[in-house]
Amino acid sequence: MAVKDRMSGNEAIAYAMRQINPDVMGAFPITPSTEIPQYFSKFIADGKVDTEFVAVESEHSAMSTCIGASAAGARAITATSSAGLALMWELLYVAASSRLPITMAVVNRALTGPININCDHSDSMGCRDTGWIQIYAENNQEAYDNYIQAMPISEYCRLPIMICQDGFITSHAVENIELLDDSDVKNFVGEYDPENYLLKEENPLAVGPYGVSPYYMEIKKAQAEAMKAAKARILEVAEAYEKVSGRKYGFFEEYRMEDAETAVVVIGSSAGTGKDAVDKLREQGRKAGLIKLRVFRPFPMEELAAALSKVKAVAVMDKCESFSACGGPVFAETRSALYDLPQRPMAVNYVYGLGGRDVTIATFEEIYGALDEMVQTGKTGEVYRHIGVRDLEEQR
C-alpha cells in the first residue's frame, strides 16, 4: 500500500536507496547532491540497511570504489553533481566499457567556470557520450520513481545508469510524494546475484584497461548494441512499474500534443512551467503542445520524430551550452531525429536557464510566440538562439 509523504528530491532518492538496500556506496560530498549520501549514511548508522559506506577523498575515488565493488559482483551506488561528475570523467568510460551496472544519482548543477552552484544540465550533458544510460526527472516524484526503475534496467542491460534531477529546484524543494511499500520496492528491484562478474573467484579472468586494436572496436560495438537494446528494456520496466505504482512512464511525456501546431521539447523541471504556459495558450485558442524528454540515453529517435511529425514548428530547449556554434545537445539529437520525416517541422533551438537563470511562463510564451510567427511567415529565421539573456550593450 502506497504511503503519502512530503520530501525533497534528495530525500526521495535516499529513501529509495534505503528501500533497495544496495551493497556498497562510495561517495564524496558536493553541492547540491551532498544530502543524498548524508541522509543515506544515517540509515546505515541506524542499522536500517546493510550497505558498506566508503568515505573517499574525491569523486574520482567514489567512482573507483563503485567500479571495484561492481566488478566483484556487488550492487554499487553513488551520487554527485557538477565538478564532482567532471572529476569522474575518465572512470565513467571505464565503468561503461567494463559493462558494470552502477547506479548514480546526478543532481544537475552548472559546471565551473566561473563557479556556480545553481542548476543547469552542463554536467550530465557533458558526459552524454560516455556510455551511461541517462534518465531525467521533472519533479520529486519522478526522481523517486526513476531511481527505483534504474537497477532493473541497468543490471539487465549491463550498462551503468544516471538518474538525473535539477539541483535545488527539485533536490531541495519539498513536494508531496507517494512512496511505495518497502516490500513492493524490494520485490520490484529484486536481489542482485549475477551469474558472472569480472572478479568471480570461480571464473578467473585477467582484466586490464588496455584494449588493443584487434579488440577495441568490438568492445565499443558491443556497448552500442547494448544501448540500443536498452530502449526495449526501459519500456518493459516502465510497464511493470505502472502495475506496482499506477504511474506511467515512457521515453517522453506528450502534453496536449494531440492537435498541436507548435511544440516545445524540454528536459527536467522546466517542463512544469512549460505545461502551465501551454494551458494558458490553449485557453486563448492557440494549438500549443509540449514534449518532456525523460530518456536522453538511449535517445528515442524514431519515437520522438513520430510525436513531432504533425507539428508545423518546434522549439528545442537546452539547459546547457555545447559551444558547437550551431546549438545545444538536445537540439542536435532532436533535429537529427526529424531528418527522415517526409514533412519536417521548422525547428529552432533555445539555450536557456544557464547557471540557474529563471525560466518563467513568460519565457515560454515568448518562445511559442516566435513559433507562431514562423508558422505564419514560413520562415525559420535564426536557428541557434539564447533566451533570458540581458542585453550586454545596456550594461556598459
Please, what are the domains in the chain?
3-245 (3.40.50.970), 252-395 (3.40.50.920)
- Separation of alpha carbons 242 and 235, rounded Å: 10
- pLDDT band of residue 381 (cuts 50, 70, 90) is very high
pLDDT at 396: 46
User: Are the beta carbons of 268 and 121 closer than 8 angstroms?
Assistant: yes
* pLDDT surpassing 70 at residue 392: no
- Across the range 122-138, mean pLDDT stands at 98
pLDDT digits (tens, 9 = 90+) for 50-96: 999 999 999 999 999 999 999 999 999 999 999 999 999 999 999 99
DSSP reduced 3-state for 127:
coil
Cα–Cα distance, 114 to 234 (Å, whole number): 36
The pLDDT of residue 292 is 98
The span from the CA of 13 to the CA of 149, in Å, is 12
pLDDT of residue 393: 56
Q: What is the pTM of this model?
A: 0.97
- 329-369 pLDDT, tens digit each: 999 999 999 999 999 999 999 999 999 999 999 999 999 99
Identity of the residue numbered 168: F
Residues 6+ apart with CB under 8 A from 174: 6, 7, 8, 140
Percent of the chain with pLDDT over 70: 98
Residues 6+ apart with CB under 8 A from 343: 309
| 26 bridge partner residues | 54
Cα 264 to Cα 119, 222, 347, 381: the distances in Å are 20, 34, 10, 17
* Edge-to-edge order in the sheet of strand 262-267: 252-255, 288-293, 262-267, 313-318, 346-351, 384-386
Q: In this predicted model, what pLDDT tens digit does every residue of 224-249 receive, in sequence order?
A: 999 999 999 999 999 999 999 999 99
pLDDT in tens, 191-229: 999 988 888 889 887 777 788 999 999 999 999 999 999
